Chain A
Amino acid sequence: MKPLKIGITGVRGIVGETFTPELAVEFAESFGTYLDRGRILVCRDTRPSGPMIRSAVLAGLLAAGCEVVDLGVCPTPSMQLAVKWLKADGGIAITAGHNPWQWNALKFVRADGLYLNSTQGEELLDIFHQGEFAKAGWDTIKQGVQTADPIPEHIKILHESFAAEAIRAKGLTVAVDCCNGACSFLSPKWLEQLGCEVLAVNDNPSAPFPHAPEPKPETMAQLCAVVKAGRAAIGFAHDADGERLGIVTDLGEPLSEEMTLAIAADIRLRKKTGKVVTNVSTSSAIDIIAARHGGSVVRTPVGQAYISEGLIEHKGVLGGEGSGGITVPEVHLTHDSAAAIGLILEYLAETGERISELVVQLPRLTTLKHNVVVEPHRLYSVLQEFRATVEQEGLEIDSTDGIKATLPGGWVHVRASNTESMIRIIVEAQEKSAAQELLDWTRDRIRK
């Protein structure tokens, strides 16, 4: 089975195999139909399939009668902000985020700059499956595509959201790995404007990804070396489209992507207590941190749209996921790695504390992640069977998203991936040995 996932979060697949130009054309037509034409922004990350998918998307949107503004290569959050200030009706981001470079995907943004929620995602899918699209005639079709650069405005909004002067006064040395992705156009420029000494690596958007675009300790070796050699105060690692952030401490230690939210929450709750919105799969460290600062945690299903909606509903002060995606509500209600950078640098500048000093105070739990590849037609039955097994054993189940069970010493979370045909297992415990036991316990109960 070749990978292709069409779901409420959009369409995602490998270009050259399943993700064809006609699929991209039809999804763009569906979206143009769903929004009843209007003004649509299009952006992409730096994958080699970007220009091909872009042309397909522009064709589909124009055919549906949309007015199209092409933002070129930019971080997805830059486009999400631009939807608001360019008064657009929606946007399409052409990016597979943290997926390998052979992948690409379409992500759909509505007029408030947030992703379609699950109901809207289903409505869009219905239009796609029905295959009846709006069609502009020769007398209404738009004759050209406009262009705009969303990055200066993104930087301006970031500047206004954080204590830029305090950061500038500090003159921090900051290392950043843009993974040759869309953030190559944003982060080095912004950090320079913040008066930082910038040690940028992999900031060439026309070069291929130097490593997997997923900010994890495994992909941050080069960044660690740069932090150490340049005696940087901190190192930041981007994914391909500017949603997820990984951190290397001033000691050159690469942190687990789960730590990004822990750090952001600790910083945020020190200044302003309130609710942190995260998904059910994210580390319990966040609960411990929230409790320390008199805050609380709201758990949602996995996916950015749920975090955004949770933040609105609960008036949260911070959102984020264990994958390294952070939402700072002052900037906007969606993951934005540049906003996370602002939050962290502001703290370092205002307190004079070092990031490694902050990190040692945070609870360190052991999180283990494991993926089980499953035939697509078995994906949901495997989950159901796991649930039945666990229930028979008399365990309490949280079914916000997939199956989360709390066991003595930790928890396990088992769910279907939104983007690939696999079951994701996450377990967490205090000690590594206990976590490994939980993982073995879970794997014993999953029957492909």
Chain B
Amino acid sequence: MNTDNLCSSVFIRGYKTMRAIPTLKISISGVRGVVGQSLTPKLLTRFAQAFGTHTGPGTIVIGRDPRTSGEMVKHAVVAGILSTGNRVIDIGVCPVPTVQLQVRHRRAQGGIAITASHNPAEWNALKFIGSSGLFLDAAQARELLDIYHQGEYTKVGGAELRTVEVIAGATDLHIKSILDALGPLPQTNKKLRVVLDSCNGAGSLVGPKLIEALGAEVIPINVTPDGSFPRPAEPLAENLGDLCRAVREHQADAGFAQDMDADRLAIVSNEGEAIGEDNTLVLAMLYVLGREKGPVVANLSTTSAVEDVAKRFGCPMFLTKIGEVNVTDAMQLHNAVIGGEGNGGVIYPRINFARDSLVGIALVLHLLAESGKSVTELLESVPRYHIVKDKMPCPSDRITTVLRMVREQFAEFPMDTRDGVKVITKDGWFLVRGSNTEPIIRIVAEAKSEERAREIIDRVYSKVNFDRG
């Protein structure tokens, strides 16, 4: 990365604005930074000390994705945790949901997942997990940040110091939990054949094992967890060319794409087309709600198809603010049977209150086997929507004004203002939201057709002035 670009200026219609391209982001979702720049071992050690201080003495589970900096980050974290008197269980390279599962399984005080999920290779991050196996909620995360900034950490010496236990096979427990909850695939005439693209990430080793254990045939691609990125880590349709080709070439029933930390899942249809990560949750719901009725939770940026499916099964649907922990909190509150996010995150509480691509794979394979239908056929039974995502430069001091203008201009429509402004239009919806990381506003619109979704966005642009003045 070129350090000259760390801080540059952009001109927005004549106004010079500092746009720091951050190499470090400390927030309630954890600490995230660029290795070799701001993400130093001292910072990581101090964060781990703050976390160990926050949890109090006990056991902390640590797992990581296969990024090149993973070992350095791990040792920095281990040192910090040990210094607070906690024991460390190191479960090695594994998916984030595996760490979450281990925290509950071992009744640990907490966990730290070392992963920058879909960020590029030079990034890494710490994500903090509480004793429930859930990520810290906003209040807990604020407490952690306060401890970090205050800099007064629990320090123990001598006989109070604990050691590190290195555990192999944490992913086997994960596979077993999934098989215990869902069972192997029902026997059919033809064994399902799927292609798995793990992006050389944390799912590389466990993904193929799970699919075989379920009783399907797997053709793995990008399953060398060596820290290299064969494609951008986010499982967006435009990044899945290799997977689509492999599905067609092998005449597979489906293709599965994971991100680097294996929490998100995207699906490629039997025709070799990326169906859009929004539809991962839709397919998972078809299976789960077909077996048990109950509330469903998603965030308010998720496709309306989830609401349609919930309605079809007669299940209540709840939409939350964006952020995994908001979804999991609401799932616990409403006793949901399934939940997730439009970005390919499926949360199935019978296994784990966590976005879990392995669970997503298992649910979708069960759906395919049980229904005997193809991915394409299954999607035909569900209303199809098109989501268009756009962004606009917007100085951070301008965001509240823009959101107010949206509320005024679209006052006649039903709206949800818990997280930005979501407006329900006649044939779709749009969401306007300030970014947490860049001086931009994000706009997401959904409608029955892509063209219509674009029209919605254009209408927002025509009614709301994003510039100063």
Minimum distance in angstroms from B80 CB to a CB of chain A: 5
User: Given A25-B41, A137-B122, A143-B68, do A48 and B158 touch, yes or no (CB 8 Å)?
Assistant: yes
B161 closest partner in A (C-beta) = A48
Which of A21, A48, A63, A101 touches B72 (beta carbons < 8 Å)? Answer: A63
Is B327 in the interface zone, CB < 8 Å from A? Answer: no
Against B, the Cβ 8 Å flags (1 = close, 0 = not) of A135-151 are 11111111111000000
Which of A16, A54, A135 touches B158 (beta carbons < 8 Å)? Answer: A16
Complex CA gap A25/B79 in Å reads: 9
User: Given A16-B157, A60-B41, do A138 and B72 touch, yes or no (CB 8 Å)?
Assistant: no
Complex CA gap A329/B284 in Å reads: 72
Which of B37, B75, B157 touches A56 (beta carbons < 8 Å)? Answer: B75
Q: Is the CB of B72 within 8 A of A141?
A: yes
Against B, the Cβ 8 Å flags (1 = close, 0 = not) of A142-168 are 111100000000000000000000000
Is B121 in the interface zone, CB < 8 Å from A? Answer: yes
Complex CA gap A238/B18 in Å reads: 62
Is B227 in the interface zone, CB < 8 Å from A? Answer: yes
What are the residues of chain A within 8 A of B40 when measuring CB–CB?
29, 63, 133, 135
Which of A20, A48, A58, A136 touches B155 (beta carbons < 8 Å)? Answer: A20
User: Given A16-B155, A17-B155, A102-B157, do A141 and B36 touch, yes or no (CB 8 Å)?
Assistant: yes
Q: Is the CB of A53 within 8 A of B41?
A: no
Q: Is the CB of A59 within 8 A of B157?
A: no
Of A58, A138, A141, A144, most buried by chain B (CB within 10 Å of CB) is A138
Which of A14, A20, A136, A137 touches B83 (beta carbons < 8 Å)? Answer: A20
What are the residues of chain A within 8 A of B83 when measuring CB–CB?
15-16, 20-21, 52
Complex CA gap A294/B240 in Å reads: 83
What are the residues of chain A within 8 A of B46 when measuring CB–CB?
22
Complex CA gap A57/B216 in Å reads: 45
Against A, the Cβ 8 Å flags (1 = close, 0 = not) of B51-90 are 0000000000000000111111111101110110000000
Of B37, B80, B163, most buried by chain A (CB within 10 Å of CB) is B80
Q: Is the CB of A63 within 8 A of B41?
A: yes
Complex CA gap A418/B343 in Å reads: 59
Complex CA gap A278/B122 in Å reads: 52
Which of A16, A26, A144 touches B42 (beta carbons < 8 Å)? Answer: A26
Which of B36, B75, B157, B160 touches A138 (beta carbons < 8 Å)? Answer: B36
What are the residues of chain A within 8 A of B1 when measuring CB–CB?
137
Q: Is the CB of B71 within 8 A of A48?
A: no
Minimum distance in angstroms from A80 CB to a CB of chain B: 23
Minimum distance in angstroms from B89 CB to a CB of chain A: 13
What are the residues of chain B within 8 A of A29 when measuring CB–CB?
40-42
Is A62 in the interface zone, CB < 8 Å from B? Answer: yes
A131 closest partner in B (C-beta) = B42
Q: Is the CB of A48 within 8 A of B41?
A: no
Q: Is the CB of B76 within 8 A of A25?
A: yes
Complex CA gap A24/B76 in Å reads: 10
Q: Is the CB of A55 within 8 A of B159?
A: no
Minimum distance in angstroms from B151 CB to a CB of chain A: 10
Of A21, A26, A62, most buried by chain B (CB within 10 Å of CB) is A21
User: Which residues of chain A (203-249) have a CB below 8 Å from chain B?
Assistant: 208
Complex CA gap A212/B37 in Å reads: 43
What are the residues of chain A within 8 A of B159 when measuring CB–CB?
48, 208
What are the residues of chain A within 8 A of B98 when measuring CB–CB?
none
Complex CA gap A60/B75 in Å reads: 9
Is B35 in the interface zone, CB < 8 Å from A? Answer: yes
What are the residues of chain A within 8 A of B80 when measuring CB–CB?
21
Q: Is the CB of B71 within 8 A of A142?
A: yes
Of B41, B46, B68, B76, most buried by chain A (CB within 10 Å of CB) is B41
Q: Is the CB of B227 within 8 A of A143?
A: yes
Complex CA gap A137/B124 in Å reads: 11
Of B40, B78, B79, most buried by chain A (CB within 10 Å of CB) is B79
Q: Is the CB of A16 within 8 A of B160?
A: yes
Complex CA gap A53/B79 in Å reads: 6
Complex CA gap A105/B197 in Å reads: 47
Which of B70, B71, B121, B158 touches A102 (beta carbons < 8 Å)? Answer: B158
Is A51 in the interface zone, CB < 8 Å from B? Answer: yes
Complex CA gap A29/B41 in Å reads: 9
Q: Count residues of A near B (Cβ-Cβ below 8 Å).
A: 39
Is B10 in the interface zone, CB < 8 Å from A? Answer: no
What are the residues of chain A within 8 A of B45 when measuring CB–CB?
21-22, 25, 56, 59
Complex CA gap A135/B160 in Å reads: 33
Is B156 in the interface zone, CB < 8 Å from A? Answer: yes
Q: Is the CB of A59 within 8 A of B155?
A: no
Q: Is the CB of B161 within 8 A of A15?
A: yes
Complex CA gap A39/B204 in Å reads: 30
Q: Is the CB of A138 within 8 A of B67?
A: yes
Minimum distance in angstroms from A105 CB to a CB of chain B: 14
Against A, the Cβ 8 Å flags (1 = close, 0 = not) of B150-179 are 000001111111011000000000000000
User: Which residues of chain A (8-23) have a CB below 8 Å from chain B?
Assistant: 14-17, 20-22
Which of A49, A138, A144 touches B122 (beta carbons < 8 Å)? Answer: A138
Complex CA gap A208/B74 in Å reads: 27
Complex CA gap A91/B57 in Å reads: 33
What are the residues of chain B within 8 A of A63 when measuring CB–CB?
35, 40-41, 72, 76
Against B, the Cβ 8 Å flags (1 = close, 0 = not) of A29-68 are 1000000000000000000110111111011101100000
What are the residues of chain A within 8 A of B155 when measuring CB–CB?
15-17, 20
Complex CA gap A27/B244 in Å reads: 50
Minimum distance in angstroms from B83 CB to a CB of chain A: 5
Minimum distance in angstroms from A428 CB to a CB of chain B: 35
Complex CA gap A400/B433 in Å reads: 71
Against A, the Cβ 8 Å flags (1 = close, 0 = not) of B425-441 are 00000000000000000
Complex CA gap A53/B82 in Å reads: 9
Minimum distance in angstroms from B106 CB to a CB of chain A: 19
What are the residues of chain A within 8 A of B299 when measuring CB–CB?
none
User: Given A21-B45, A102-B157, do A52 and B68 touch, yes or no (CB 8 Å)?
Assistant: no
Q: Is the CB of A139 within 8 A of B68?
A: yes
Minimum distance in angstroms from B123 CB to a CB of chain A: 8
Q: Is the CB of B79 within 8 A of A49?
A: no
User: Given A137-B1, A145-B71, do A56 and B160 touch, yes or no (CB 8 Å)?
Assistant: no
Is B328 in the interface zone, CB < 8 Å from A? Answer: no
Is B44 in the interface zone, CB < 8 Å from A? Answer: yes
Q: Is the CB of A143 within 8 A of B71?
A: yes
Complex CA gap A136/B68 in Å reads: 11
Q: List 16 A-B contacts (CB under 8 A).
A: A15-B155, A22-B45, A25-B79, A29-B40, A48-B158, A56-B41, A56-B45, A58-B72, A59-B45, A59-B75, A133-B40, A137-B1, A138-B122, A139-B121, A141-B35, A143-B226
Chain A residues within CB distance 8 Å of chain B: 14-17, 20-22, 24-26, 29, 48-49, 51-56, 58-60, 62-63, 101-102, 133, 135-145, 208
Chain B residues within CB distance 8 Å of chain A: 1, 35-37, 40-42, 44-46, 49, 67-76, 78-80, 82-83, 121-122, 155-161, 163-164, 226-227
Across the A-B interface, give the 10 residue pairs with the lowest CB-CB distance, nearest first.
Answer: A16-B157, A137-B36, A56-B79, A59-B76, A62-B72, A52-B82, A59-B75, A55-B79, A21-B79, A59-B41
Q: Known contacts A21-B45, A56-B75, A137-B35; can you find 12 more A-B pairs with CB under 8 A?
A: A15-B157, A16-B157, A22-B45, A52-B83, A56-B45, A59-B74, A101-B158, A133-B40, A135-B36, A137-B122, A141-B69, A144-B71
